[in-house]
Structure 1
Amino acid sequence: MKNSDPANPGREEPGRMDSLRESGECCDIIEVARQAVEDGTRGRLRGGDREGLTVSVGVAQFPCDGENAQDLLQAVDSLMYQAREEGKNRVYHRRQSTDAAI
């Protein structure tokens, strides 16, 4: 996973988790990270932004979401945009979603 520039909102960075993990476990791990980002930035950003940073994530799993890297990245991208359209700050998987309490 590449480092993101926090001064560049809306930046998208694909990443990969351990391929031996179940997708539900990956969603749980990502949700903990998403919540930590939200909690750590709420009310602390310049300009008085009370909401803080948000993290929208799509989770795909081989082979059910794609047979190759390109298909998996397309699935992740589509799910991430779905998370954004549903209100941002969410973790989306094709079988489940977890909503953040904002």
Structure 2
Amino acid sequence: MDAVFQALAHPVRRILVVELAERNDQTLFELTVRLISNHGLTMTRQAVAKHLAVLRDAGLVTATAQGRTTVHHLDTAPLTAARTWLDAIPHTSEEPS
């Protein structure tokens, strides 16, 4: 679970997760274009690929070769595990001193 939280610590990787949640199974090119058009983030494909590799290493994204392209798929199981862990933390209404 540490790898999941570390992967989600970077804002670009959180955006990539959201983009894949909204429309799964995208290529690197499609994700790069969506970062530019939806979020104003101008990044090279190499930079996006590095972020996708971190998400892949954390088990959040899988990549499947389809011909000459690679399609990226969001795996929500690690997010569900993280959500379950977070939900188990007792909630208090007191502000820290």
TM-score normalised by structure 1 residue count:
0.29
Q: Flag the structure with more relative contact order, 1 or 2, with Cα contacts below 8 A and sequence separation at least 6.
A: 2
Q: Which structure has greater helix proportion? A: 2
Q: Larger Rg: 1 or 2?
A: 2
TM-score by length of 2: 0.30
